[in-house]
Amino acid sequence: MFSYKSSYGIVEKLKKVFLPVFMAGALLAGSVTGYNVPEVTRIYAVTQPNELSYNPGHRDTVCTELSEAAVAYYSGEYSIGSLSKLTGDLLKSALHDLMTDTDKYSNKVSYSMLTKYFPYVDAEDGKAGTVLFYSDALPVEATDTQKATIISREHVWPKSHASFHENFGGSDLHHLRPTDSIVNANRSSYCFGSVDKTDKNTRIDRLGDKNSGKIAGWWNVEADRFEPLDNVKGDIARILLYVYVRWEEPNLVKDVEISVIDESQGQKNNNDGKKVIESLDTLFTWMELDPVDTWEMGRNDLVQQVQGNRNVFIDHPELAYAMFERTTPGDVEIGKAQQKEYNDPNAKSGQEDKNSDKNDNKNADKDSSDTATDTTPAPHANITKKTLKVGQNPFKIKISYLAKDAVVKYKSSSKSVARVTKTGKIKAVSEGSATITVTIKQNGKTYKSKIAVKVTAPKEFQ
């Protein structure tokens, strides 16, 4: 059985021996006509980790503008104008071809190499530091009572439910993410979905070797379900869509019978056929609850530098709706006018209603967020506690990197659950969930942060 991982060490040794000889011969000859470049030299086509910058994006700062790399990716037969004319299986096939044809080098990045890239692609605000998936936190340092975080390479689409293992889709940077090893073990291969937090069989997944740190999710063995944090749910949905289309795994939202053993990818097909997320409704609900943030866009740019391809569902979430022939919500498209101008320089960047929240997201000329290539940290809002109790004192929203002349507005998706004052204080009203949208205008640009909060009743009422 062929193993890219085991052959990589041999390639490295051969490279050191034969590459200098070949290069010297090429220099002496001036040109080498008809010479096939040895396979060993192609490893240099891969962008090395230390050639990358740290991800400049920020978690939970809603992305309102495509990066330059994202805009340029969609052209020719794969322009957004062309893709938007397709739906269903025709669109799925076109997106597969786009992400496959541009994926030049993912097979050159071995499973063992992933940990070298994580510190760059999974960094935040242009600073060193790996953001752990699920827990959405940085690794913990060792203390007298706790060991330091051990980082695992997490297959978001579980290996037991896939036709890959630790190569191809199993070592794709768009797919695999760094996680705390304990969180990774607890997450196991459960189907993603909603978990009943009151069920006695539900367990809390936490960061740290004592499983006592920040919450990373909930799992229930009997229900075969794992539910992540709200601000990670959209990331998961878009990763699953990528694997479903790019690597053509059939069991996204339903169990399927895998009757053919496919050894074309150098290994036995271990796919047990079990679905990876409970339903399409859940997948799209998660996408809307947790929209694309600037961090995801920045990561997409960096992975493209390594592999050549992009996760199209980060750049254009609306394509997922068209692929499943669903109505697209009005506020999921990113940089529509921006992409249109690129494909048609004579087109106008429509700014029909500057006062509406929807057009604030699409206004590419005056009000726009930093692109992923901008290393200046974007202003963003957050709170240290996202579970509030009815009757407690209002909780203040914190905003980082705020300019003195910035204009800030707050809005709650459900005032019956949580209200927010003009000064950014959240008042818990009744049990339920709400999303607080913070709109920041400064330096001629608009930034939006969405904060998911949960309100519970005091213990005496539970």
DSSP string, 54-103: PP---TTEE--S--HHHHHHS-GGGSHHHHTT--HHHHHHHHHHHHHHT-
Residue of 244, 299, 275, 238 lying closest to 67 (CA atoms): 299
Domain check: are 366 and 385 in the same one? no
Q: What's the rounded Cα separation, in Å, for the pair 449 and 181?
A: 29
Domain check: are 443 and 298 in the same one? no
Q: What's the rounded Cα separation, in Å, for the pair 244 and 152?
A: 22
Domain span at 95:
46-372
What average pLDDT is seen over the chain? 83
Share of the chain above pLDDT 90, in %: 59
Q: What's the rounded Cα separation, in Å, for the pair 441 and 450?
A: 15
Q: Is residue 435 part of a domain?
A: yes
Domain check: are 283 and 430 in the same one? no
Residue 143 has pLDDT above 70, yes or no: yes
What tokens were used for 287? Answer: 């996408």
Q: Is residue 36 part of a domain?
A: no
Q: What's the rounded Cα separation, in Å, for the pair 165 and 3?
A: 11
Dihedral (CA of 176, 49, 105, 301) sign? positive
Q: Is residue 7 part of a domain?
A: no
148 with 140: CB under 8 angstroms?
A: yes
Domain check: are 304 and 361 in the same one? yes
pLDDT of residue 381: 85
Which of 90-94, 366-370, 441-445 ranks highest by mean pLDDT? Answer: 90-94
pLDDT of residue 380: 84
Q: Is residue 10 part of a domain?
A: no
CATH number of the domain bearing residue 407: 2.60.40.1080
Domain count, the chain: 2
**What value does the mean pLDDT take over residues 92-121?**
96
Confidence of residue 364 (pLDDT cuts 50, 70, 90): very low
Domain check: are 246 and 357 in the same one? yes
pLDDT of residue 109: 94
Q: What's the rounded Cα separation, in Å, for the pair 175 and 171?
A: 8
Domain check: are 67 and 150 in the same one? yes
pLDDT of residue 26: 40
**What value does the mean pLDDT take over residues 281-289?**
96
Q: Among 323, 346, 372, identify where a domain stops.
A: 372
pLDDT of residue 371: 38
What tokens were used for 47? Answer: 């962008």
Q: Is residue 39 part of a domain?
A: no
Domain check: are 290 and 422 in the same one? no
pLDDT of residue 365: 37
Q: Is residue 427 part of a domain?
A: yes
- Radius of gyration of the chain measured on its C-alpha atoms: 23
Domain check: are 155 and 276 in the same one? yes
Domain check: are 167 and 275 in the same one? yes
Q: Is residue 11 part of a domain?
A: no
Q: Among 329, 357, 372, identify where a domain stops.
A: 372
Q: Among 352, 372, 392, identify where a domain stops.
A: 372
Domain check: are 248 and 350 in the same one? yes
What tokens were used for 113? Answer: 């190499």
**What value does the mean pLDDT take over residues 96-106?**
96
pLDDT of residue 20: 47
Share of the chain above pLDDT 70, in %: 79
Q: Is residue 13 part of a domain?
A: no
141 secondary structure, DSSP code: P
Domain check: are 426 and 311 in the same one? no
Q: What's the rounded Cα separation, in Å, for the pair 37 and 207?
A: 47
Domain check: are 158 and 306 in the same one? yes
Q: Which residue has the higher pLDDT, 354 or 460?
A: 460
